[in-house]
Chains A and B, each alone.
Chain A
Amino acid sequence: MNIETRLKRAGLIVALGLLIQLLSLLPIHPLAFIAFVSVGVPIMAIGVILFLLAILAPSSESR
């Protein structure tokens, strides 16, 4: 998988996590906080980690 595909995948996951977090800000309910912490943040964190791995690890093209 080349770096551009990896970045695309990471970016989409980050955007999804952020979207869930954004939606969780709208209702005033304890479940909104749970959704923020246990769904939105982990998904976004996975995206950030994939991004960091993409820029730090050599892509298959460069091997």
Chain B
Amino acid sequence: MPLSILIALFAVSILLALFVALKAGATRSREGKMLAFVAFAILPVISVWGGFEKHLDTATSTQFCLSCHVMEDYGRSLHYDDTSYIPAKHYQNNFVPRDHACYTCHTDYAMFGGVKAKLHGLRHIYVQYFGMVPKPADIKLYNPFPNETCLHCHLGARKFEEVNGHHKQPDLLPRIKSGKTSCMSAGCHDTIHEVGDLKDAVMWPKESKQ
């Protein structure tokens, strides 16, 4: 639901609730009772549903993920002017939607992947305000990055299937597909955010370093 429509829905709900509350005498009639039920039960529930959905959608945005100070360096790492950095390459070439870049790669595509991502997010909020916030370079994934996330987009793509690097050994491609060999193994795609490199990095576009 677009934000403007949701705001309008909330505004109507609030105004109607206030109107019925301040004109409670009108609820003596049958129509008034129906209006009160709509104002105090139906519209609020619809509004909550819309608001909750909007919040969940917002939580998948890059802007949302980078709104915490500790994540700022990870956002900047998307602008390395060097395609060996996997997140930067994906972000700059629109391999992932830029406005949902973090969520696209950091949620798994299994049935409850989104739920797990949200639960991790709640833990991040707890740590941000009540725990010890680690330095950006010390932040680690909960689990090794799963090949399934990469394969969600790359599996079947001609470049993925035919590139020489994936045929260095006869059984390499099957091992990648089965997850036995990580895409991020040493010597493969092992240059990720590397926020420690930010200090001297050349950025794209140039102004994004600030």
Contacts and interface: CB of A to CB of B under 8 A. Distances in A.
Top 10 closest pairs, chain A to chain B, by CB: A11-B21, A4-B24, A51-B40, A22-B10, A15-B17, A7-B24, A14-B17, A33-B55, A8-B24, A18-B14
A48 B47 contact: no
A41 B7 contact: no
A5 B27 CA distance: 11
Interface residues of B, number: 40
Q: For chain A, what secondary structure do more than half of its interface residues adopt (helix, strand, loop), or is it mixed?
A: helix
Interface of B: 3, 6-7, 10-11, 13-14, 17-18, 20-22, 24-25, 27, 33, 36-37, 39-41, 44-45, 47-48, 51-52, 54-55, 58-59, 61, 63-64, 67-68, 121, 124-125, 128
B55 A18 contact: no
Interface of A: 3-5, 7-12, 14-15, 17-19, 21-22, 24-25, 28-34, 36-37, 40-41, 44, 47-48, 51-52, 55
Contacts of A28: 58, 61, 63-64, 67
Contacts of B51: 21-22, 24-25, 36, 40
